Chain A
């Protein structure tokens, strides 16, 4: 079953029949994390780098921000039986869409934020596809943890 993860949202599953999918990744970043032993996986789609930008919004919707969103995702994964030290983590998104800020783009800041959080948690990336200027759709298949990106009519494994 396809489980859609919306903007500022996160979902977790351990049903091998499930696929987590998130659409229209522009400057947002999607984080997928999968434990190959327990076969638990999760997907977070966040918009902004840090909850200090808007603490009350972070309270209402932690998945809007990289820091509170990642904390939520890791908690949900652990509640479902995942072991943090076994997680395979991948990223997609962080594009510069209609952003003329160049080196200061929100996509780049989103990317830097999640990389710092993962480093603090002791997690290295298995792979990532970030940057560019095209939107992406991301699929995580819970059966085996495989991840697919669709962008510009192409399908690319991540």
Chain B
């Protein structure tokens, strides 16, 4: 994945967080410790080129995002219920933005997001093309896996 496409992914992630979820983002100021419990979210796209967005996020971050969007407190039960749902929606939005902003003639079709437990955050964060940001203190790591 080219640096340009990775930079574009960063731009789309931050814009999605700011616009849809009222979440501010910052670059990390040094090594970021792996969160205690995290999930890996994925969303495939297929067409003239194919691949998959991969986003790693702590479970607690989903509570914060859901609370922001619904006008609740992060400790509210409804925010916890919506934690995975909202990060899947974030993946949907990031992928749509990223695909729309690449200069390609044929825009791939998007699939639906899915989530699974992430056992090794450090390994994911070290994959080629992966970057980490801090979203209101929570680390998020993202990359695009291209499919040949």
Interface residues of A, Cβ cutoff 8 Å to B? 49, 101-104, 108-109, 111-113, 115-116, 119-120, 122
Minimum CB distance partner of B68 in chain A: A116
Given contacts A119-B71, A120-B71, A122-B71, contact A112 B23 (CB under 8 A): yes
- CB atoms of A109 and B24 under 8 A apart: yes
Which A residues are in CB contact (< 8 Å) with B26?
Answer: 104, 109
Q: Is B122 an interface residue (CB 8 A)?
A: no
- CB atoms of B25 and A103 under 8 A apart: yes
Identify B15's interface contact among A49, A103, A113, A116, CB under 8 A. Answer: A103
Given contacts A103-B10, A104-B14, contact A112 B24 (CB under 8 A): yes
- CB atoms of A104 and B27 under 8 A apart: yes
| Docked pose: A122 CA to B72 CA in angstroms | 11
Which B residues are in CB contact (< 8 Å) with A119?
Answer: 22, 68, 71
- CB atoms of B24 and A103 under 8 A apart: no
| Docked pose: A102 CA to B25 CA in angstroms | 11
Question: CB-CB contacts of B37-64 with A at 8 A, as 1s and 0s?
Answer: 0000000000000000000000000000
A-B contact count (CB 8 A): 32
- CB atoms of B68 and A103 under 8 A apart: no
Q: A102-B11, A103-B25 are in contact. List 18 more A-B contacts (CB 8 A).
A: A49-B24, A103-B14, A104-B14, A104-B25, A104-B27, A108-B14, A108-B18, A108-B24, A109-B24, A109-B26, A111-B18, A112-B22, A115-B22, A116-B22, A116-B23, A119-B22, A119-B68, A122-B71
Minimum CB distance partner of A101 in chain B: B27
Interface residues of B, Cβ cutoff 8 Å to A? 10-11, 14-15, 18, 22-27, 68, 71
| Docked pose: A11 CA to B4 CA in angstroms | 45
- CB atoms of B10 and A113 under 8 A apart: no
Minimum CB distance partner of A50 in chain B: B24
Minimum CB distance partner of B18 in chain A: A112
Which A residues are in CB contact (< 8 Å) with B27?
Answer: 101, 104
CB distance from A8 to the nearest CB of B (A): 19
- For A116, A119, A122, the residue with the greatest tally of chain B CB atoms inside 10 Å of its CB is A116
Which B residues are in CB contact (< 8 Å) with A116?
Answer: 22-23, 68
| Docked pose: A99 CA to B11 CA in angstroms | 16
6 A–B contact pairs at CB < 8 A? A102-B11, A104-B25, A104-B26, A112-B22, A112-B24, A116-B23
Which B residues are in CB contact (< 8 Å) with A115?
Answer: 22
| Docked pose: A108 CA to B15 CA in angstroms | 10
- CB atoms of A103 and B22 under 8 A apart: no
Minimum CB distance partner of A108 in chain B: B18
CB distance from B68 to the nearest CB of A (A): 6
